[in-house]
Amino acid sequence: MDIFEKCQNYTLARDFREKGIYPYFHALQSRQDVEVIMEGKRRIMLGSNNYLGLTTEPSVVEAGIRAFEQYGSGCSGSRFLNGTLQMHLELESELADFVNKEGAVTFSTGFQSNLGIISAIVGRGDYVICDRENHASIYDGCKLSYGKMLRYAHNDMEDLEKLLQRVPETAGCLIVTDGVFSMGGDIAKLPEIVALAEKYGARVMVDDAHGLGVIGEGGRGTASYFGLEDKVDIIMGTFSKSLASLGGYMAASEEVCDYVRHNSRPFIFSASIPPASCAVALAALRHLKAHPELPERLGRLSAYARAGLKARGLTIRESTTPIIPIYTYTMENTLVKNKELYEAGVYVNPVLPPATAPNECLLRTSYMASHTEALLDEAMDIIASVLL
């Protein structure tokens, strides 16, 4: 059998292209901002994870330019060897302090962070228990580990407890959950998860990729939102969203950080974050600390959009975050409406199976602190005219 036979038989993308509703790889020709030029036309951007709008913040951009000029284009090696800059250490120290942990470890991408953390912590004979709607990188981190993965129904604490009861007392156990779920925008039931972890002797890891800069005191994330920073053992996050850069991190006790540094293959065998990306993440973090009103502004705009979509008669999936999905139900309808919105000047993201149930497809809209109410009204009027 030819190993490429699966490639030859894969027709889904080809079929969507032939129907003219293929939704991916639209090319940006401008900065990532509230309005963009994409394929030659102005689009209102409601499909970005640039939650605080810092990709165009002058001080953040300038920090990247200065680092590029001072350190060059890359570090040419892993953090373990020749790839550690003083700036990497500063970023880790300030991140740890911001989320109230002893230490932090940075990774080259957010995806690699989950691969590197979970595969290092969860060993042979251990268990890792995941929410079914966790990010794909968590699932791949579980696969890379030698532990046994169990999955509980989304935010279902009764199901989680049943799985915890199956874990032998002699086995280590890590519960992993998204803080803010990337597709639905809902928040993990962290108080209940922490209580169950304490009852059954498990540890807790929160993927806060969509929580940092969004919820919690001054944007400190999900653990802060619930006042549980001392109860969550590992906080993971990314720099590619609120911090306007590229990379990821783990924050935890210093002994856990030190173990991961010396046992995580994705950390040891990957080149470090390039100087400009590191400088941008650090500048964005400092900007967030200096401007705690940004997450508050983001929350108000998200509530404004949520109310505006409902007032226009649209059916949304309830959330309290800047991720607001609009139900479009079938895959075909979702892709058709996504194209019509794109052509009308609004960019959103289609969410299709397996990220949703077959007839619960969505258009994922997401918002930035730099949006204006007037721009959101323009976008919501367009969305209503297309979807209703």
Compute the distance between CA of residue 179 and CA of residue 206 in angstroms, rounded to an integer: 6
Contact 280, 244 (CB under 8 A): yes
Q: What is the dihedral of CA 91, 92, 94, 95, to 10 degrees?
A: 110
Active-site residue 241, yes or no? yes
Active-site residue 199, yes or no? no
Q: Which residues pair with 103 in a beta bridge?
A: 252
Contact 32, 54 (CB under 8 A): no
Which residue in the list 88, 101, 135, 241 is annotated as catalytic? 241
Structure tokens at 339: 């194209």
Task: Decide the pairing of beta strands 103-107 and 148-152.
Answer: unpaired
> How far apart, in Å, are the Cα atoms of 216 and each of 9, 181, 196, 219, 306?
47, 15, 22, 5, 20
> How far apart, in Å, are the Cα atoms of 270 and each of 81, 209, 256, 277, 314?
10, 20, 20, 15, 45
Active-site residue 210, yes or no? yes
Catalytic residue set: 182, 210, 241
